[in-house]
Structure 1
Amino acid sequence: MMGGDFGPHSTIPAALAALDEFPELHLHLCGDLSLLEQQLRLSNHFPHARITLIGSEADVSMADKPSVALRNKRQSSMRRMLDLVEQGQVQACVSAGNTGALMAMAHYVLKMLNGLERPALVGALPSCNGQPVYMLDLGATVNCDADTLFQFAVMGAVMAEEVMGISRPKVALLNMGEEEIKGSDQIKRASLLLSECNDINYIGYIEGNDIFSGKADVIVCDGFVGNVALKTCEGVAKLILRRVEQSARQSLSRQLLSWLIKPFIKSLYQGVNPDHYNGASLIGLRGIVVKSHGNASKEAFLSAIRQAVREVEHQVPAKIKHRLEHVLIDKA
């Protein structure tokens, strides 16, 4: 509850909204007990029958290096949260804290599923056909060999099938061109592995301008490419919104036009608003870990909690484990 730019000021309202939305949900809130109690009292929700407060003696700051956090922040709210998952006391966890520290701690505490080498951050993005597209990796594994990209494709396909209910999701590799001769040796080898796997509906390469086109349900790339692509898309969306606002202030006629089309612009923005797609899942682990972006609003953090609930309902780690065992047997 302590992570992100706003800490409990954002995460507490989101947690309370989640409890209203999911009557069966019980939340364990990890953090500074006095601060959490204060925020809950201000909201007239202390005590709450479906909230358990878990005290912590330290917090992981956004400046902490992953190795330092792993060694020295064993009593932090982030570590207490992951320990609860590992001990089976909770079924999933959500954090808006330091991404590197979260990945390092989750990898150490929860361990990888058998047959997997590296975890991946996967997030849902909007598309032109209205169906979210899953993209991975978004920054967990910077350099990926062909086998790792293949494993990411399997995990991404399971997410699309189980969470979104897409039958035989279309899987693509993000590349610098659609031609078979384009791309690095690792991309080409991953493409060969996927084309030989009957369990994956592999459609080939797509380029960056097709991320939101709806051509693919799952887009696979290494963490460096995925993170840069995601941040670039967010930046372009903000640029367009600012240009529209600036244009509306230039003349009376443009202000009038802006007023007339404001409902349409608002509806369009809500369709691409990152708050509604917040919640990147760290998959490949023996537990469910959802990473919210650091500047998450109440609505954005609520979106991350919803993602965790969906993964619990569909037992995503178990489904990934089963699919990987099946695919690896066929591959052998």
Structure 2
Amino acid sequence: MPIDIVLDAMGSDKAPDPEIRGAILAARHLDVRVHLVGPEELVRPKLREALRAHSGGRKLPIFIVQASEWISMEDKAAQAVRSKRDSSMRVGLKMVREGRANGFVTAGNTGAAMATAKMVLGSLGGVDRPALASVLPTSTKNPCVLLDVGANVDCDPENLVQFAVMGQQYSKNVLRIANPRVGLLSIGEEETKGNSLTRDTFPLLKALPLNFLGNVEGRDLYNGAADVVVCDGFIGNVALKTSEGLARLVRSSLRESLKSTVTSQVGALLSKKAFDNFKKRLDYSEYGGAPLLGVRGVCIVGHGSSNERAIMNAIRVAAEFAKADVNSGIEAALAAR
């Protein structure tokens, strides 16, 4: 049976156009039904126009769900969550809570998405604080899951222990890594290195039935040394934003270098192919957004600048998350501690 995924049509910076095109791509290439949530008078004519242009005349399983309000990037998250009771985020997440959909995707205001998901869906048993995870590319074939990347700025050791269990379950069941290696992000590999949070967390992780590597450093996020890396949301968000900035610098520098050094037509074509492959490996749109782990449902949060391919991949990740039943695994693992 197809998986039902709710898509916030009003989330991204250029909404609803990327969402509509992404929904069409997902409906064409994935075994999903997409429910676009937003003001019908705005979404329907744009969807009709996009279907004429991109569906090739095929009837696709895309539906519109009415929501009269939406939360913008400029809105203050806490205030908007309370005041906009018919927002596309709240309406979509209620569909997940009521069992009318298997997952929710938004490229909207991250703070509002997390607050609404926690309020509407609630937390899993054994989870004190849900965490936002990011999937990072590495020099090996396996990606690395970093969490938390911004949901919880201040954490205690018990929070990090729960993050480790949630990340391990996501890596195992969605990314298909048989025995994920879990690392604790610190400033040195030795057990005594780090701040009070990492030093107090280390023995707790060591006592768990996890494939715990010990402390890992920032470079290990990308060299394939670990499959899951845990930290507090302040450190994780700084690491993620620094990585995104560095990736943009590397891409632009490489593009300029290729332009200035490649002269022949054949060389230019080969260089373009190599550059496109390189760019794809670093492109966030291939990973489909960050799962909010620990809530009682499936919630994927994408970049505000998401294009249609990023939206499609976020829908794919939501469907894979739902099929794998990650949340049951998280609750069972936390209960077994």
TM-score range, shorter chain: over 0.9
- SS of structure 1 residue aligned to 2:248: helix
Tell me if 1:274 matches 2:281. Answer: no
Aligned position for 1:229: 239
Equivalent-residue separation in structure 2 for 1:303 and 1:28 (angstroms): 15
SS of equivalent to 2:174? helix
What's 1:2 paired with? 10
Q: Which amino acid aligns with 1:88?
A: G
- CA RMSD, aligned part only? 1.9
Note if 1:79 corresponds to 2:90: yes
Among candidates 94, 102, 111, match of residue 100 of structure 1: 111
The residue correspondences of 1:240-319 to structure 2 (distance < 5 A) are 240-250=250-260, 260-319=270-329
Instruction: Compute the displacement of 1:105 (Å).
Output: 0.8
Residue 14 of structure 1 aligns with an amino acid whose one-letter code is G
Distance 1:255 1:326 in 2: 61
Tell me the distance in 2 between the aligned counterparts of 1:47 and 1:17: 12
Name 1:54's counterpart in structure 2: 65
Q: Distance in 2 between matches of 1:165 and 1:248?
A: 36
SS where residue 180 of structure 1 aligns? coil
- Contact kept? 1:277, 1:303, Cα under 8 Å: yes
Task: Tell me the distance in 2 between the aligned counterparts of 1:292 and 1:207.
Answer: 26
Contact residue 288 and residue 311 of structure 2 kept, 8 A: yes
Which amino acid in structure 2 is aligned with residue 29 of structure 1? L
Q: Deviations over 1:149-207 (max 9, x none)?
A: 0000000000011112212210001111112221111111111101111x211001111
Q: Would you say 1:69 and 2:80 are equivalent positions?
A: yes
The equivalent residue for 1:17 is 25
* Partner in structure 2 of residue 210 of structure 1: 220
Query: 1:249-274 CA deviation, whole Å, 9 max, x = no partner?
Result: 54675998655433222212211211
Matches within 5 A, 1:114-153: 114-153=125-164
Could you tell me which residue of structure 1 aligns to residue 99 of structure 2? 88
Work out the percentage of aligned pairs sharing the same amino acid.
Answer: 38
**Is residue 130–residue 151 contact of structure 2 (8 Å, CA) maintained in 1?**
yes
Structure 2 counterpart SS, 1:128: coil
User: CA shift at 1:48, angstroms?
Assistant: 5.2
1:49 Cα deviation (Å)? 5.9
Per-residue deviation, residues 4-26 of structure 1 (Å, max 9, x unmatched): 11112101111111111223x22
Write out per-residue CA displacement over residues 214-248 of structure 1, whole angstroms, 9 at most, x where no aligned residue.
11010111111111111111111111121123334
1:32 paired with 2:32, answer no
Inter-partner Cα distance in structure 1 for 2:101 and 2:270: 49
| Structure 2 residue identity aligned to 1:284 | G
325, 331, 335: which one pairs with 1:325? 335
Q: Is the 8 A contact 1:247 1:254 kept in 2?
A: no
**Partner residue in 2 for 1:330:** none
Choose which of 173, 177, 186 in structure 1 pairs with 2:197.
186
Q: Which residue of 1 aligns with 2:4?
A: none
CA distance in 1, matches of 2:264, 2:215: 42
Amino acid at match of 2:295: L
Q: Is the 8 A contact 1:155 1:284 kept in 2?
A: yes
Q: Is the 8 A contact 2:132 2:147 kept in 1?
A: yes
Q: Which moved more, 1:151-160 or 1:317-326?
A: 317-326
